[in-house]
Chains A and B, each alone.
Chain A
């Protein structure tokens, strides 16, 4: 038991030196780190948002909205397909209820032709079917979403939403965001060191879906004020309406979507010097915009952002150049934000902030200060107890503890693990618990001596008998820590990480290292009695 071959001693010492070296960068100021040449390992522990300050924002997709949008665009393509069919198929009684689109083909002779026309619309790119077609009562066709259809659409929407958010945050500059998808319909955005989380939320939460639709100028203003629209029109909110009524009626069809932009910039209007956003369409978008403005010169058109009208200017002349200007009651900042949002593309799905955790840098700094202080005092207290109680063996345990701390930091640094506030607590706890192994061993040695065993025998038995309980106790702690890691979230996981690493390293330092030192001492001093 106390026999340590030379190669093991060398290896263990090398491991100690190595872990101390790896742990050092975590204590160095950043300026020093930058001067260390590349190639030399200099991984440091990263601080969690609760210590470094920053924002954690959990976004959830509005799947109901996504399904509604999908159904709406299905209706559009169905109507187009029926109109373009040869001969034209007339449809009637169109309804979108319960997530399904259903309509009646009055001429039942055309049912097969209608079904034929629907096939290309309802198929997806992989050859499967996004919508299932069903004919009931002889001439009613019902399209219901297939299970895979909805999940693929959501999946695609979430992937591109993630990219959009990435582009928007990058447009803000020097932040180092972490953006990850979580589950089927969520995205986590973490931005360290952020001063104003509100601006971030405003930016990433904005869908930025731009549409241009013709104003229904024949609508009855009183009806519009009550939110009622004629057939073929819809009423949208228009907070800045000069007439004072915060609503406006627009034509449902014949508009164009703003997804064909190549660029957007904040600028100033040449006449009244108000902040505006200049936009440029791509080739096809420009053509469509030109056609729309040509056909409707003199009429009003509404510029709609996320379902809300921001302005409704008159088309004075056809706009052929493929670029336009969005005016509205903007400030420079809000115009700039809109430009960023438009540049990064519209979010394919509405995202809602369902969880936010932001910590200001001052609170984080306070937490680090008091956490580190507590850790230092706690360690000092534990060391004092150990030395007072076990003398030489307490000193060994103390050194083992200090190396344990270095090893935890080294392992965390190597894996780039994140230290959180509960992580500091985990650290403090690990310190207390790590010496438990030494307590067990030392108490056992005391006991064996009391029973009259000789020095060597007592030491051997002490380590052997205690290690069974040490092993079992640590396994149960590992079970708790692993479950904590699996089911915990955010900072709690940081706690679990420290706990897990601490358990493994503490068994090594508290058992193996102290045994090596004890063995070395016994060899050198050949003690006849133990002061323990």
Chain B
């Protein structure tokens, strides 16, 4: 049987010669993402800003009466609801943020949900309530803090591990790639105004994990090659390492993206945003592994001496170093 080879043998693409352009583009995209988040903001779900979301199915109706709902719920005096379709034509979610200065009454979010359900049921007796989420201001800010803390802790924890296993430059390079991936994902969420909620934080944490997965595989190869080819200059060595692992990078990205794309297309609507974030993050992560974490090592002056203890260099023993002593 002839096997499929996505990357031909002995591929040698000069990835690193584009590193300055790629770096420029990345910086540009990151700045654009930050600007987007600053101006357009993120479409935070009730998890993080407090409020309520009711999922409704208008049983026996062709489509949900969106305009009528906007009108009747707007009259309840909490403000303008956000009404979005999910799943079938007759299924909508009705979202309402907490009004300003709602800290006084911790039960307001829940009261809003109750009033909205009562109103919808009054006008449409056959409506089916599929789900209720109500989160008070205090709980939502706790969830937000916890989520943010988890992101930062994960980033630092993983970077520390890479630092221990490799060298500090590798740790910084990995953190940089991670900031890159997360920033761009934030940018995507701001651009598309997809709902940013607890699930998105889970997606981001997973992106961090798997983006680093990639980074580690390449770093491992770089370390190996640094010790093997002691005279090779850094860009060439990085190119070699990237090319050697390229077929694995492509294959793994494909195997991870395959189920994710399936989740985006056929998965539950409730976790649509989660799946999109994940697929995007894995894609960006593969790119950043080559152009951010690997390229970073050049700027940080990593060389073949980085893995040789200083006293050995002084003793003149380094030349005898070979694969066997790893």
User: Which A residues have a C-beta under 8 Å from some C-beta of B?
Assistant: 50, 58, 60, 197-198, 201, 352-360, 362-363, 366-367, 370-371, 373-375, 377-379, 381-382, 385-386, 388-391, 421-422, 424-425, 428-429, 431-433, 435-436, 439-440, 443, 446-447, 450, 465, 468-469, 472-473, 475-477, 479-481, 483-484, 486-492, 495-496, 499, 531-532
B213 to chain A, nearest CB (A): 4
Contact of B132 among A357, A374, A390, A431 (CB under 8 A): A357
Q: Mark B154-177, 1 if CB is under 8 A from A, else 0.
A: 100110011001000000000000
Q: For residue B244, which residues in chain A have a CB less than 8 angstroms away from its CB?
A: 447
19 contacts between A and B (CB under 8 A): A354-B107, A359-B131, A371-B267, A371-B268, A374-B268, A386-B255, A421-B271, A425-B263, A432-B259, A447-B244, A468-B220, A469-B217, A469-B221, A476-B158, A480-B158, A484-B150, A487-B149, A488-B146, A489-B146
Q: Are B202 and A354 in contact (CB under 8 A)?
A: no
The CA of A391 and the CA of B1, in the complex, are separated in Å by 8
Residue of A whose beta carbon sits closest to that of B47 = A489
B13 interface residue, CB < 8 Å from A? no
- Give the segment of B184-192, B203-211, B231-239 that binds chain A: B203-211
Q: Are A352 and B106 in contact (CB under 8 A)?
A: yes
Q: Are A355 and B220 in contact (CB under 8 A)?
A: no
Contact of B271 among A422, A440, A487, A532 (CB under 8 A): A422
Closest 4 A/B residue pairs (Cβ): A378-B259, A487-B150, A480-B209, A432-B256
Contact of B260 among A429, A476, A490 (CB under 8 A): A429
Known A-B contacts A388-B3, A422-B199, A499-B206; the reply to A374 vs B262 at CB < 8 A is yes
Q: Are B220 and A435 in contact (CB under 8 A)?
A: no
B interface residues, tally (CB under 8 Å): 80
Number of A-B contacts (CB under 8 A): 232
Q: Are B271 and A389 in contact (CB under 8 A)?
A: no
The CA of A484 and the CA of B158, in the complex, are separated in Å by 13
Q: Are B255 and A436 in contact (CB under 8 A)?
A: yes
Residue of B whose beta carbon sits closest to that of A390 = B3
The CA of A375 and the CA of B113, in the complex, are separated in Å by 33
The CA of A531 and the CA of B188, in the complex, are separated in Å by 42
B270 interface residue, CB < 8 Å from A? yes
Residue from A377, A390, A480, A481 whose CB has the most chain B CB atoms within 10 Å: A480
Q: For residue B208, which residues in chain A have a CB less than 8 angstroms away from its CB?
A: 480
| B241-256 residues at the A interface, CB under 8 angstroms | 244-245, 247-248, 251-252, 254-256
B14 to chain A, nearest CB (A): 20
Residue of A whose beta carbon sits closest to that of B5 = A389
Q: Are B213 and A479 in contact (CB under 8 A)?
A: no
Residue of A whose beta carbon sits closest to that of B254 = A385
Q: Are B256 and A479 in contact (CB under 8 A)?
A: no
Q: Are A476 and B139 in contact (CB under 8 A)?
A: no
Known A-B contacts A390-B3, A489-B143, A489-B146; the reply to A367 vs B263 at CB < 8 A is no
B195 interface residue, CB < 8 Å from A? no
Q: Are A488 and B131 in contact (CB under 8 A)?
A: no
User: Which applies to chain A's interface (DSSP): helix, strand, loop or mixed?
Assistant: helix
Q: For residue B3, which residues in chain A have a CB less than 8 angstroms away from its CB?
A: 388-391, 531-532
| B61-100 residues at the A interface, CB under 8 angstroms | 87
Q: Are A358 and B132 in contact (CB under 8 A)?
A: yes
B36 interface residue, CB < 8 Å from A? no
Known A-B contacts A379-B259, A385-B254, A473-B212; the reply to A353 vs B154 at CB < 8 A is no
Q: Are A476 and B106 in contact (CB under 8 A)?
A: no
The CA of A422 and the CA of B277, in the complex, are separated in Å by 13
Residue of B whose beta carbon sits closest to that of A379 = B259
Q: Please give 5 more A-B residue pairs, beta carbons under 8 A apart, in addition to A363-B130, A378-B258, A487-B153.
A: A355-B139, A371-B268, A436-B252, A472-B165, A473-B212
The CA of A446 and the CA of B6, in the complex, are separated in Å by 13
Residue from A378, A484, A488 whose CB has the most chain B CB atoms within 10 Å: A378
Q: For residue A373, which residues in chain B have a CB less than 8 angstroms away from its CB?
A: 266
Q: Are A429 and B198 in contact (CB under 8 A)?
A: no
| B276-321 residues at the A interface, CB under 8 angstroms | 278
Q: For residue A370, which residues in chain B have a CB less than 8 angstroms away from its CB?
A: 266-269
B129 interface residue, CB < 8 Å from A? yes
Known A-B contacts A378-B258, A385-B254, A389-B251; the reply to A366 vs B158 at CB < 8 A is no
The CA of A65 and the CA of B143, in the complex, are separated in Å by 25
B85 to chain A, nearest CB (A): 14
Contact of A443 among B109, B114, B162, B247 (CB under 8 A): B247
A347 to chain B, nearest CB (A): 15
Known A-B contacts A366-B87, A443-B248, A484-B205; the reply to A476 vs B161 at CB < 8 A is yes
Residue of B whose beta carbon sits closest to that of A483 = B154
Residue of B whose beta carbon sits closest to that of A430 = B259
Q: For residue A362, which residues in chain B have a CB less than 8 angstroms away from its CB?
A: 57, 128, 130
Q: For residue B158, which residues in chain A have a CB less than 8 angstroms away from its CB?
A: 476, 479-480
Q: For residue A357, which residues in chain B have a CB less than 8 angstroms away from its CB?
A: 131-133
Q: Are B267 and A495 in contact (CB under 8 A)?
A: no
B42 interface residue, CB < 8 Å from A? no
B198 to chain A, nearest CB (A): 6
B122 interface residue, CB < 8 Å from A? no
Q: For residue A450, which residues in chain B have a CB less than 8 angstroms away from its CB?
A: 9-10
Contact of A385 among B106, B157, B258, B274 (CB under 8 A): B258
A458 to chain B, nearest CB (A): 14
Q: Are B132 and A421 in contact (CB under 8 A)?
A: no
Residue from A377, A386, A431 whose CB has the most chain B CB atoms within 10 Å: A377
Q: Are A433 and B210 in contact (CB under 8 A)?
A: yes
The CA of A352 and the CA of B109, in the complex, are separated in Å by 11
The CA of A197 and the CA of B113, in the complex, are separated in Å by 12
Q: Are A358 and B248 in contact (CB under 8 A)?
A: no
B33 interface residue, CB < 8 Å from A? no
A424 to chain B, nearest CB (A): 8
Known A-B contacts A425-B275, A439-B248; the reply to A360 vs B205 at CB < 8 A is no
Q: For residue B180, which residues in chain A have a CB less than 8 angstroms away from its CB?
A: none
Contact of A377 among B9, B136, B262 (CB under 8 A): B262
The CA of A422 and the CA of B199, in the complex, are separated in Å by 7
Contact of A360 among B131, B135, B247 (CB under 8 A): B131
B45 to chain A, nearest CB (A): 12
The CA of A232 and the CA of B262, in the complex, are separated in Å by 71
Residue of B whose beta carbon sits closest to that of A503 = B209
